[in-house]
Structure 1
Amino acid sequence: MNRKKWKGNLLLLLTALIWGAAFVAQSAGMEQNGPFTFNTIRMILGGIVLIPCIALFDKMRHVRLGWRSEDKNLWVGGCLCGVALFTGATLQQFGIQYTSAGKAGFITALYVIFVPLCRLFAGKRPGKLLWGSVALAAAGMYLLCMDGSLALSKGDVLVLLGAFGFTAHILIIDHFSQKVDGVRMSCIQFFVAGALSLVCMFLFEAPSVPAILSAWAPILYAGFLSCGVAYTLQVVAQKDTDPTVASLILCLESVFAVLFGWLLLGETLSMKELLGCILMFVAIVLAQFA
C-alpha cells in the first residue's frame, strides 16, 4: 500500500474515532431539542468553522481557488452531499427515538455492506477477500451492538433508511472528491444540510433559545468536531482510498462508541462485545490486503 493510502486510511480512522465519541454528544443534545433543531445548529456550525480553514489552506498552498459559479462539479457535489447528509442524519436522529442505541448502531453501520453492493450494480466487482472483510465486519457489528433480536420496529426502519442516506453520501464523495477541493465541497454540504434542517425546524418544531443554550457543549462538539472536522477529514481522505475500504474503516465508529462509553461512562464490555471488536479490526486488516 502506498503512502497516500496509508495517510487516507489513518485520517478515516480518526474520523471514526470522533464520530464514536459524538454518540454521547448526540444523545445529550437531544434531551431538550428536537432532531431538526439539533441538526440545524450543528450543520451550520460545521460550515462556519470551515470558512477560516479554507482561507488558511489557500494561504499555505499559495493559491486562491475561489468559489466560481461555473465550477459545476464543486457546487453539484456539495449540494448532493448536503442532501444525502441531511437525509441520513435526519432519519438516524428520528430513529434513535424509537429504537435501542445498539440496534441503531448496527443498522446504521450496514452501509459497510450497502457500499460494495451499490458498486456491484455499477459494474465494479469487489474481490473475494474484500467481500470476506465485509462479512466479518457485519458479524463483528452484530456481536458488538445487537442483543439477539432482529425484529424491525418503526425506529429500526427509519435508521435503516438513514443508512442508505449515508451510503449515498460515501459514494457521492467518492465520485466528486477527485475533481474538486474537498474542504470547499464539505463546507457547501454543511450549509445545504443546515438549510434543509432549518426549514424543517420551523415547520415541525418549536425551537427554544434556553433549550439550545442548555445543550451548548454537545452541540459545539457535534458541530465543530463531528461535522466541521470529521466530515471534512472523510472528504479529504477518500481521495486516496477505495470507498468500500473507507466504509469498513468508518464503521469502526461503533467500536469507538463502546470504548468511549467504557472510558468515560464506566460501561463494561462483555466477551461477546470484545469478540465483535476483534472481528471488526480483523476485517479492516483484510481489507488493506484486498
Structure 2
Amino acid sequence: MMDTTNGSFSRTWAELLLAAVILARSTSYVMTKIGLQGMAPFSLLGIRFITAFLFLLPLGWRRLKSASAGTWLRGMLLGTSFFAVMAAEVLGLRTTEASAAAFLENTAIVFVPLLEAVLRRSLPDIPILLSTLVSFSGVALLTLKGGSFSISQGESLCLAAAAFYACTIVLTDRLSRRDDPLALGILQVGFIGLYGIVMAFLFEVPRMPATASEWGVILGLAVVCSDFGFTLQPLAQSGTTSERAGLFSALGPLGAALSGYVFLNERLGATGALGMGLILLGMLFGRRSRPHRGRA
C-alpha cells in the first residue's frame, strides 16, 4: 500500500504509521522515569538501544550486509542526532515529570518549520510565528513555580531535546529519501546504543538490570519504543514532508500525559494544565502553514 501510485493514498499510510510510531514512543517517558529509579541514565539508554538492536539484527542482517559505506555513514549521522535527543531527554527526566517533559520536548513542532525556513532562506509563515508565540506562552505557564517563571535544569534539558529533535526530523527527512529507510532505522538504533554504552563507561558505573521490574522496563523500551518507535520513523517520514512529520509530534505529549496520569499519578495543577493546553494549541495551529515541497 505504501508503493501505490496514488500519492495521497501513500501519504495516508505513511502518516498513519508515523502516528503509531509517535504514540508508541510517548510511553517511553513513563517507562524511563520508572527505570531511572534504579539505573543510571546512560546505562539505561545504552542497554535499551543495544537490546533493541539485537532484536532487530536477525530481521535486518541482509539489509545491513548489503548496505553501502554511505548508508552506514548516514545511519551513524542519524544515530548521533537522535542520541543527542535521548541524552537530553533522559537527563531531564531525572528531575522533571514525564508529562511536562513530553510537552516541553515536543515543542519541536515549532522548531521544525522555523529551521526549514532558515535552510530555505525564506520567511516562516505567519501561522508558524503565531504558533511559536502560543507554544512558548504555554512553556512559560508550564514552568510557573511559586508565582514566578523559573525553568529548572531538567526543563532546560527537555527544551534542548526539543531543539535536537527538530534537527533530527529535518535530517531524517533528507536522508530517508536517499537510502533504504528501514536499514537507516536499524543503524540509528545500533549507534544510539553504542554511544550510550560509551557514555556509561565514561561517566557512570555501568551495570546490567538487576530486578524483574528493571528488565521489564528495558524490554518495554527496547521493543515498543525503540524497535517500533524509532526504526520505522525513517520509513514513515519517507512518505510525507518534514513539516507534517513535525505536526504529528502533538500526539506524543498527549500520550505521555495520559500514561503519566495513569501510572505515575502526575498532577500539574490548573496552571500546568493551561500551559499544556497552550502548547498543544500552538502545535495544532501550526497545521495552517503551507507545506514546502522543495529540498534545501
Decide: shared fold, TM above 0.5: yes
Q: CA deviation at 1:99?
A: 3.8
Distance in 1 of aligned mates of 2:95 and 2:77: 28
Q: CA deviation at 1:187?
A: 1.2
Quick one: percent identity of the two aligned structures?
Answer: 25
Kindly provide the CA deviation profile for residues 212-262 of structure 1, in whole angstroms up to 9, marking residues without a partner as x.
654111111111111110112211110111112111202321011122334
Specify the code of the residue in structure 1 equivalent to 2:65.
W
Specify the code of the residue in structure 1 equivalent to 2:81.
A
Task: Give the structure 2 partner of residue 246 of structure 1.
Answer: 245
On the 8 A contact 1:95/1:159 being kept in 2, the answer is: yes
The correspondence for 1:113, drawn from 110, 124, 127, is 110
2:168 aligned counterpart, secondary structure = helix
On the 8 A contact 2:22/2:248 being kept in 1, the answer is: yes
Distance in 2 of aligned mates of 1:144 and 1:224: 35
Q: CA deviation at 1:107?
A: 2.7
Distance in 2 of aligned mates of 1:197 and 1:210: 15
| Residue 27 (structure 2) pairs with residue 29 (structure 1) | no
The correspondence for 1:18, drawn from 21, 24, 31, is 24
TM, length-normalised to structure 1: 0.81
| Residue 281 (structure 2) pairs with residue 279 (structure 1) | yes
1:209 aligned counterpart, secondary structure = coil
The gaps in structure 2 that reach 5 residues or longer are 1-6
Distance 1:259 1:112, change over 3 A: same
The gaps in structure 1 that reach 5 residues or longer are 56-63
Q: CA deviation at 1:274?
A: 8.4
- Deviating more after overlay: 222-231 vs 209-218: 209-218
- Deviating more after overlay: 156-165 vs 142-151: 142-151
Q: CA deviation at 1:178?
A: 0.7
Distance 1:284 1:113, change over 3 A: closer
Kindly provide the CA deviation profile for residues 82-140 of structure 1, in whole angstroms up to 9, marking residues without a partner as x.
11111111122112223444543333122112211211111165873762784488279
Task: Give the structure 1 partner of residue 65 of structure 2.
Answer: 67
Q: CA deviation at 1:188?
A: 1.0
Specify the code of the residue in structure 2 equivalent to 1:37.
S
| Residue 194 (structure 2) pairs with residue 192 (structure 1) | no
1:187 aligned counterpart, secondary structure = helix
Distance in 2 of aligned mates of 1:210 and 1:275: 37
TM, length-normalised to structure 2: 0.80
- Deviating more after overlay: 97-106 vs 9-18: 97-106
The correspondence for 1:6, drawn from 3, 8, 12, is 12
Distance 1:210 1:43, change over 3 A: closer
Task: Give the structure 1 partner of residue 218 of structure 2.
Answer: 219
Root mean square deviation, CA, Å: 3.2
Distance in 1 of aligned mates of 2:101 and 2:276: 19
Q: CA deviation at 1:157?
A: 2.6
Distance in 1 of aligned mates of 2:38 and 2:224: 21
Distance in 2 of aligned mates of 1:275 and 1:156: 17
Distance in 2 of aligned mates of 1:284 and 1:147: 24
Q: CA deviation at 1:21?
A: 1.8
Task: Give the structure 1 partner of residue 48 of structure 2.
Answer: 42
On the 8 A contact 2:96/2:155 being kept in 1, the answer is: yes
Distance 1:194 1:29, change over 3 A: same
Task: Give the structure 2 partner of residue 259 of structure 1.
Answer: 258
Specify the code of the residue in structure 2 equivalent to 1:169.
T
Distance 1:145 1:182, change over 3 A: farther
Task: Give the structure 2 partner of residue 98 of structure 1.
Answer: 95
| Residue 128 (structure 2) pairs with residue 122 (structure 1) | no
